[in-house]
Structure 1
Amino acid sequence: MSKPYPLLFQPEFKERVWGGRALEQFGLNLPEGQIGEGWMIADHPNGTTTVANGELAGTGLDQIREQMGREWFGNKGFSEKNGRFPLLIKLLDCNDDLSVQVHPTDDYAGLPQGELGKTEMWYVLDAKPDAKIIYGLKEGVKREDLKTALENGSVMDSLQEVSVKAGDTFYIPAGTVHALCAGVVVAEIQQNSDTTYRIYDYNRPGLDGKPRELHVEDSLNVTAYEGSGATTMSTDQAVPGQWLQLAASPYFVVEKGIVEGEWSLGTTQDSFTILVTCEGEGTLTWEGGSQKFTSGQCFLLPANLGSYSLEGHAVVLRSYLP
């Protein structure tokens, strides 16, 4: 069995009607087209990333899961429902508004077979001065109100708009109506699911020139009208060498850290660790090796890696299973 080391993956890129070219700022080699999503760490039928560094280069995350098992992914590192890696890590470029959407919980009867619900969080990497997102329903909006608004074309009047800036973070439990809007680039940590119910899509055509499918009944069914537990925060109070918790859910914990100099850290047997470099650069060092890192790169650290350190000047997100 290979000795554990931090895994860097070749992203899977997805063209989206709302995408652009902003992910090139991270040095990523994008294919042609309107690239909205970079799946940075993925083990899903709709996209599986392969290792780009070290001894396991060319190996898919699904193969690593099958070969290395709990020793690498940790005691909590499997989805008991579908056996896949439990998280999906993305970078999103919103050159245009995304559809207004909502995600189901794990127990929703309408889920495709083998699929999970989708709780997620966003960390804003970049935002234009007037950037905003849609984040929940206005107070008092019930199912019948939302249904009527969709029928008469006034749905935007039922939604909360929130201004955003780089460094803001948004926790989005399943059931939260939401949409990223034009001019925002985010890192997304989420359950390993690709189930999205579109409520409204501005009556625009998709990449094929045809209207994109809406999922009105499913959306009305899964929306949390009394509140989903969504929370948001600015992260300006983060200080070097300390973790600031951004989101804690049954599916993941996400923290922000500022690297200034050398920071000694370590993994535990319970869970793998995912590091997302938001800005800056440095060196990731562990017993037996080192790896340069730069903004936009996402690493999967096996649970049995043990001690490691970050050295340089950078902002990173750390994610693991609770």
Structure 2
Amino acid sequence: MTLYPLLFKPEMKERVWGGRNLERFGLELPDGVIGEGWTIADHANGTSTVVNGELAGWGLDRIRGQYGREVFGSKGYSEDASVRFPLLVKLLDCQDDLSIQVHPSDDYEKLPAGELGKTEMWYILDAKPGATIIYGLKPGVTRESLAEAMAEDRIMDSLQEVPVEAGDSFYIPAGTVHALRAGVLVAEIQQNSDTTYRLYDYNRPGLDGKPRELHIEDSLNVTAYEGAGATMMKTHIDGPQQWLRLAASPYFVTEKGIVDGEWKLSTSPESFVIHIICEGSGEVVSGGRRVEVKAGDCLLIPASLGEYALEGQMTVLRSYLP
């Protein structure tokens, strides 16, 4: 079979801080407060499913087993069947504040079995006026002072609060204390991990009515007190058909571009390409096949595809393995 750009149906996740805003992308939401749409996922806790072409109905895990090297590329594929797709891509609807949290690196000795660390990045798709996020510790905060602030229920005094607007980008290496807050809609690209350590959760109940678990010791262990290399940027682009690099990590590279008309691109045999459509609409064209796309769509371009084109009027993100 000739492979083609794969469009996925997200797996939706109910979260205590979620809402219904993902419906604005034309996505079907189950009942409840939906905080996350896992748009490209190959994880024990969620798998996204192809909705177009001959592979419609296939989960990314099944594609991995049948077409892993051709789709993932030489850097993304492993002969070890237990090694999953290396990235996890989400859309996040934050109607309330998320917990104050931090993620471990790959070498943390207490990682759950089979889990990776979690370096990630955010691109702000939309933000209400006055919206902010928590992004790192204030200068001079140590393990001892952070532990004391947590014990005295004044952790917010140790954290940096940053205003955000649509188009802002944040790189969040493992060890960076952070939290999305109410009023933002976000695209997230991350290592394929579902490990989060909570430092603080506003003393609120979870969906089951019980307080959500905190992970005090693990959080203190993995926090990078001298800074983890987190960076943030505005993402203005002067014109179409050029890539602006937003994040470059050992695990992924993410760039932003504006499509105006036809933009000819290509994959390499080493890595797949992921495109998130942030604004606008158009088509992804390859080998005479056209896939219609709109804001909120997420595509996986197989590494073996070679030449393809983006056509239309769109703002897109591009992610691939370094």
Shorter-chain TM-score range: over 0.9
Alignment of 1:1-322 (within 5 A): 2-78=1-77, 82-322=82-322
CA RMSD of aligned residues (A): 1.0
Give the secondary-structure state (helix, strand or coil) at the position aligned to 2:14.
strand
Deviation at 1:159, TM superposition (A): 0.1
| Percent of matched pairs sharing the same residue | 71
Q: TM-score, normalised by structure 1?
A: 0.98
2: CA distance, partners of 1:132 / 1:294: 27
Deviation at 1:49, TM superposition (A): 1.0
Report the residue type matching 1:126 in the other structure: D
The C-alpha deviation readout for 1:53-93, integer Å capped at 9, x for no partner, is: 10011111011111112122111013689510000000000
Kept in 1: contact 2:261–2:312 (CA 8 A): yes
The C-alpha deviation readout for 1:209-230, integer Å capped at 9, x for no partner, is: 1000000000000000010000
Question: Which consecutive unaligned segments of at least 5 residues does structure 2 have?
Answer: none
Q: TM-score, normalised by structure 2?
A: 0.98
Report the residue type matching 1:288 in the other structure: G
2: CA distance, partners of 1:238 / 1:184: 25
Report the residue type matching 1:67 in the other structure: Q
Deviation at 1:288, TM superposition (A): 3.2
The C-alpha deviation readout for 1:202-259, integer Å capped at 9, x for no partner, is: 0000011100000000000000001000000000135210000000000000000000
Give the secondary-structure state (helix, strand or coil) at the position aligned to 1:129.
coil
1: CA distance, partners of 2:247 / 2:3: 27
Report the residue type matching 1:255 in the other structure: E
Give the secondary-structure state (helix, strand or coil) at the position aligned to 2:160.
strand
Report the residue type matching 1:9 in the other structure: F
Kept in 2: contact 1:79–1:85 (CA 8 A): no
Question: Which consecutive unaligned segments of at least 5 residues does structure 1 have?
Answer: none
Deviation at 1:10, TM superposition (A): 1.4
Kept in 2: contact 1:43–1:61 (CA 8 A): yes
